[in-house]
Amino acid sequence: MKILSVCTARSEIRLIQGQPVPSAISKRAVTGPVAVHALGLAGDEQADQTVHGGMSKAIYAYPVVHYPFWQGVRAQARVAPQDAALPHGFMGENLTIDGLLEEKLWIGDQLRLPGCVLAVSEPRQPCFKFNDVMGFNQASKLMAQSGYCGAYLGVIVPGQLAAGDEIELVPGPREVNLRELFMARMRRRG
């Protein structure tokens, strides 16, 4: 289990359905170590802190194994060719990770890295900004159906992290599974 890339973005105005909307969803991979603070990564912003950011949603991690699924559905929606690889950060994640899937994570699990400690806090809730980045309006619905939500992380021990860092998963209380919580929330949103 490891970090494949660390991604950050500054908030910018996106034109979504004809309206100017502040967003920092367009994350891009950065090189070298990145400082981890209580509210997120150095050089990263969250445009709408009512739904992103804060102590429990300081960092967003997404499994790289889901990228081919999104590449395929974008091709089916005719917004990108099948061979158009998605760059890390495309899902709006800060950490593109390998070896950790939603069904294997529980709220309270800790991710111990060489330079910091993070904790699984909740699943991502897809929104209209996700649809815009993906290029079609059914993207949020597909995330809800697939369960490919990724994980928000709180910062337990600040420090630093970098692409290539190995992740040690330390189980928490194992009472609430991340994927199950996501699926239950999506059913309620209906």
Residue 100, pLDDT > 90, answer yes
pLDDT given at position 188: 84
Residues with Cβ < 8 Å from 145, sequence gap 6 or more? none
Burial of 151 (C-beta count, 10 Å sphere; 0-12/13-18/19+): buried
Other CB atoms closer than 10 Å to residue 181's CB: what's the count? 17
pLDDT given at position 56: 92
In the block, residue with structure tokens 């899902």: 91
- Give, for 156, the enclosing helix (H) or strand (E): strand 151-157
- Give, for 33, the enclosing helix (H) or strand (E): none
pLDDT given at position 139: 94
- Report residue 160: phi and psi, to 5°: -155, 160
- We report the CATH number of the domain holding residue 97 as 2.40.33.20
pLDDT given at position 190: 64
pLDDT given at position 25: 93
Number of folded domains that form the chain: 1
Residue 32, pLDDT > 70, answer yes
pTM passes above 0.85: yes
Query: 12-50 burial, b for 16+ CB within 10 Å, e for fewer?
Result: eebeeeeeebebbbbbeebeebbebeebbbeebbbbeee
Give the separation between CA 73 and CA 94, rounded to whole angstroms. 22
The model's pLDDT over 35-90, given as tens digits with 9 standing for 90+, comes to: 999 999 999 998 877 777 888 999 999 999 999 999 999 999 999 888 889 999 99
Q: Are 13 and 21 in contact (CB under 8 A)?
A: yes
Q: Are 74 and 135 in contact (CB under 8 A)?
A: yes
pLDDT given at position 184: 93
pLDDT band at 187 (very low <50, low <70, confident <90, very high): confident
Give the separation between CA 135 and CA 180, rounded to whole angstroms. 27
- DSSP annotation string for 128-139: HHHHHHHTSTTH
Q: Give Cα separations from 42 to 34, 51, 65 (angstroms).
A: 6, 19, 26
Range of the domain at 13: 2-189
The model's pLDDT over 114-159, given as tens digits with 9 standing for 90+, comes to: 999 999 999 998 888 999 999 999 999 999 999 999 999 999 999 9
Q: Are 3 and 113 in contact (CB under 8 A)?
A: yes
